[in-house]
Structures are given as structure tokens and as C-alpha cells.
Amino acid sequence: MYLPTHFKQENLPELFDLIEQHSLASVIVTHDGKIEANHIPLELDSTQGELGVLKGHIAKENPLFEILDHPVSAYVIFQAEQAYISPNGYAGKHEHHRVVPTWNYRVVHVKGMIRKVTDEKHLRGILARLTRQHEAAQPMPWKMGDAPEDFMRDQLSKIAAVEIEIISMVGKFKVSQNRTKPDAEGAAQALEQSHPEMSQSIRRHFPEQ
């Protein structure tokens, strides 16, 4: 990944927070010279290993299931808020017009080893935590026990758990840190209504003077 210094983010709490708030990941592996890409919601367990372990599940009909007869290297991408940045918001446009559009975004890239886990108890634990996290805002959160046991057993027989031991991770937080403070503030103001999360990120991550 092209990563200019001013966009590089290595603070682990910041990286962990992005992963936990935006858990749908692009998981990429190579096998027999071909690229296999999947989109998988992943749970971060930061208590395991040096940098943590990502946990999720896949369908057994997914080609990845057979690929994972043995652990393989994986490249995992998490993406948070993103937004088009018009130069109309920059203070500099009204002074010298030497500005162009760009795109802001925050991502975390993870390298690790992915393996499958076929133990049903392990799988149930992953699913229970994942649903508990994402059902929390519901008036009556759904849980696996709400469904008939024979139905759940059939559903579980069709999927397998996967775990990715994190070897390295880095973030690219491209949120106008390379602009002047007036330009960055102008961009943040322009996005307050259409992209409030990006507006907040620009202000939060602008370097302190």
C-alpha cells in the first residue's frame, strides 16, 4: 500500500477501534496462482497473540474452505468512513486556485495466517459473540437460542469458523493532514451534513501545531 508518512497510523488502540467499529473485512488469499477474495465480518480478540486474532465464519461451499485444509497467508482490509473532497471547501481555492479534488478515507491493512476451525463449540462461541455485538442496539436482541435447535444444527453444519492470527497491521488515515489548517477546516465544514463521520475525523486527526 502506498503510504505517505503523514497518513500512516500505527497506534494500536486506533487500529483496533476501526476494526471493531467497521468489522466487515475484505479477506484476500492466493492459491495455485489465483487470487481468492471474500468479504467476511470479523471479530477482533486482542487478548490472543502479540497483536490479536480475527475470528469469523465462512460457508463450507466457499472455495476458501478447501483452500484452508492448511493455514495460508492472508491480507485483510478494513475500511471506515470515506468521502470525496471538493476543492470548493478549501480556503486556498479562494486565494490562489492551486487546488484539486481528492478522496479521504480510513483503512487498516492486516497481514496474518488464516486457518479453519471445524469444532462446533468454537463456532457457536464466535457466532454468539458476533450476534451479541451487532444485535445490541435492537429492542429485543436476537440470539441463537431463539431459533429451533434442529434448525440451528442444520445451519451450523453448513459453515466453519476461521481464525486469522495477526502478524502485522498498519493504518492509512488519509483525512486532510497534508493540507493547511484552514483548508482542512474548510473541508470538514463542507462535509458536516453529508459525511459527518469524515468531518469529525478530519478535525480529530489534524496534526497539533
Give residue-wise pLDDT tens across range 136-191.
Answer: 999 999 998 899 999 999 999 999 999 999 999 999 999 999 999 999 999 999 99
Q: Which helix (H) or strand (E) holds 53?
A: strand 53-59
Q: What angle do CA 77, 82, 83 make, to 5 degrees?
A: 155
Residue 209's pLDDT is 56
Q: What is the mean pLDDT of residues 112-137?
A: 91
Judge whether 84 and 176 are in contact, CB under 8 Å.
Answer: no
Residue 93's pLDDT is 75
Instruction: Provide the mean pLDDT of the chain.
Output: 94
3-state secondary structure of 100: coil
Residue 80's pLDDT is 98
Q: What is the mean pLDDT of residues 98-117?
A: 96
CATH for the stretch 5-204: 2.30.110.10
Q: What is the mean pLDDT of residues 122-137?
A: 90
DSSP 6: G
Short-list 163, 52, 61, CA closest to 114? 163
Distances from the Cα of 156 to the Cαs of 78, 106, 123, 163, 202, in angstroms? 26, 34, 8, 17, 43
